[in-house]
Amino acid sequence: MADIHIDDFYKDTARILLQLYNAFPRKASVFVEDIAGPDQPDEFGLHSKRHMACFGAMLWLAEEGFIRYVDTIRQEAVDQAILTQQSFVRLSSLSRDPQLIAWASPPPDAPEAVKSNYLSHINLIREALRDGGSERITQTLHRILFPVDSPTTHIAT
């Protein structure tokens, strides 16, 4: 059984990070509707599970140190959000992951400086979103957010 909620999490996370990267260094409001699409609250005013999952992804990114924000706008948005230094550096850096490098598709006749830009993590996220495949988005974000050499990926025995 596919974990569609996890695929949605990675897609939402990619869009949130891309939106904040494109606004950097300005602070910006990130609205759930812009990331996950329109939502129709039920007769009690409660949002859908999909909407709340996207809002939860925003809060998770902040709790894990990828973004900061000043406040929430109800459960509609995070206000005055910005990438943290750690997140900006990671998104701007060039990938050393062989799988991500294999997915990069610079123009064959491009100068080396342009080709290397295609290996930046933010560009790999752009390409994954443009490609649209859930598996590629999931794998790209997982490899960027949780690199193999990260201390959080090692399990003590």
End-to-end CA distance of the chain, in Å?
30
Q: Which pTM does this prediction carry?
A: 0.87
Query: Cα(73)–Cα(47) distance, rounded to whole angstroms?
Result: 14
Query: Along the 157 residues of the chain, how does pLDDT read in single tens digits?
Result: 468 888 999 999 999 999 999 999 999 999 999 999 988 888 887 888 999 999 999 999 999 999 999 999 999 999 999 999 999 999 999 998 888 888 887 777 878 877 788 889 999 999 999 987 889 999 999 999 998 765 444 334 3
